[in-house]
Structure 1
Amino acid sequence: MSAIVQFENVGLRYGLDSETLSDVSFSLSSGGFYFLTGASGAGKTSLLKLLYLAQRPSRGVIRLFGEDVVTLPRKRLPGFRRRIGVVFQDFRLVPHLSAYDNIALPLRVSGMEEGEIDAPVVEMLNWVGLGDRGQARPATLSGGEQQRVAIARAVIGRPEILVADEPTGNVDADMARRLMTLFEALNRLGTTIVVATHDLPLIAQVSGAQMMRLDKGRLADPTGTLRYPPQSQSKPQGNA
């Protein structure tokens, strides 16, 4: 499989502080499923921001879809971002829009005809267990319900890359597994999945997924060295 993401000696520094990420190099294959782990403060969210083009690195090279995005003209960035679905840790739902309209937003932005929007949005609402909450606004939804709306919005357009920051942190174990099954189904359709999580037992349930671990801003384990068999609940080795 060809590389859809390449990082080469990437560093990220905020202001005059020490580097948040240092000498990060890895390659993600198109159609792969990847987990990003590490302690709080290890740099997971910062790495994801680089992936979905919310942040430029302080140094190094990042290639997405075969192009160097560090030197990419800003006017081309929106086109690249539309190819990437993002599930934010803080949801970022539009407060004055209903759950239905939040999920429909990417389809409307892409120019889909209004008559073609209803069926996929209703299907997605039902899939995440919110079929009866389509007209509810975010303020009336629980944290877990908001998370499910955010996930549905991120995946409805079948992005080429899906980036998710702790997507199961506000749902129960059954819903977490259901959402991960959705990610797996999207992955089978060809989407490259990158999930940041602390939930190692959840990782163990995804067959064939690969894991990267950040330790104080550095990549501790090269991509692909740790694989988890389906349904295995054993403690991962080498990641204490």
Structure 2
Amino acid sequence: MNDRPSEIVKFDNVGLRYGTDPEVLSDLSFTLFPGSFYFLTGASGAGKTSLLKLLYLAQRPSRGAIRMFGNDMITLPRERLPDFRRRLGVVFQDFRLVQHLSAFDNVALPLRLAGASETKVIKAVSDMLDWVGLSHRAQAIPATMSGGEQQRVAIARAVIARPQMLIADEPTGNVDPEMALKLLRLFEALNNRVGTTVVVATHDVHLLKKVPDSLIMRLNKGRLSDPTGALRFPPRPDNAGRGGR
């Protein structure tokens, strides 16, 4: 029996401004569905990073309503935010690795915070580092790693706990095309096998056709273009999470 919500995120007429500046996001109304894969694209300055901040709960909107996991995020007490953030995996453009921890310990953080046994941590992290090609760098600290290596550590950390929603801001910007495709396949596997909703912000138009059944969200000057209506209705009749296939 499937008890997953029919929608994982719902924006209703959302706007965002910083201070007294003009809105950087305006009139955003869309729904993201469990188990779907979305690309967020648009020109530099279109508002992609600002929209991602709303999705990973780092920013509250200036107006409008946001529901996530069936809860009103506008009225949610701040002390409850950490519980919801643990359901998210986030890949930041600037990596945000813990500088005094090794690659292994950075990736292990979400599992250890969740109380996983050390036996499980060692197996899961070792497998993940092998997948992203960093087994030989497990004990390296971020300062000794290249930008591409740090990016792969950040991605491994974001996906290790199999989050309900993965949000990635330009996740392939610091790796070569071969590794970019491999990382995209990692996101796709998480989406297919676990049912994680995936949102990938990218300016790389070549990635947009690499994932079958993915949907494209286009931002233009802070407004969302959705001519097909795919962001308001389930993209597939059986969409209850692709992990069930």
Q: Deviations over 1:151-191 (max 9, x none)?
A: 00000000000000000000000000000000000001110
Report the secondary structure of 1:9's partner residue. Answer: strand
Residue 101 of structure 1 is matched in structure 2 by: 105
Check conservation: 1:27, 1:223, Cα contact below 8 A: no
Partner of residue 200 from structure 2, selected from 195, 199, 206: 195
Q: CA separation in 1, counterparts of 2:117 and 2:125?
A: 13
Report the secondary structure of 1:201's partner residue. Answer: helix
Report the secondary structure of 1:117's partner residue. Answer: helix
Gaps of 5+ in 2: 232-245
Structure number with higher relative contact order (C-alpha < 8 Å, ≥ 6 residues apart): 2
Alignment of 1:16-165 (within 5 A): 16-165=20-169
Check conservation: 1:212, 1:222, Cα contact below 8 A: no
**What TM-score, normalized by structure 1, do the two folds share?**
0.92
Check conservation: 1:11, 1:23, Cα contact below 8 A: yes
**What TM-score, normalized by structure 2, do the two folds share?**
0.90
Check conservation: 1:211, 1:223, Cα contact below 8 A: no
Check conservation: 1:26, 1:222, Cα contact below 8 A: no
Change (3 A) 1:104 1:195: same
Structure 1 vs Structure 2 CA RMSD = 1.2
Please tell me the residue identity of whatever aligns with 1:20: V
Aligned-pair CA distance for 1:112? 1.1
Check conservation: 1:43, 1:216, Cα contact below 8 A: yes
Identity between Structure 1 and Structure 2 (%):
70
Q: Deviations over 1:16-59 (max 9, x none)?
A: 10001000010011100000000011000000000000000000
Q: CA separation in 1, counterparts of 2:111 and 2:227?
A: 36
Report the secondary structure of 1:204's partner residue. Answer: coil
Gaps of 5+ in 1: 227-240
Partner of residue 178 from structure 2, selected from 174, 177, 188: 174
Q: In the comparison of the two structures, how many residue pairs are matched? A: 226
Q: CA separation in 1, counterparts of 2:225 and 2:211?
A: 21
Report the secondary structure of 1:126's partner residue. Answer: helix
Check conservation: 1:26, 1:223, Cα contact below 8 A: no
Please tell me the residue identity of whatever aligns with 1:181: R
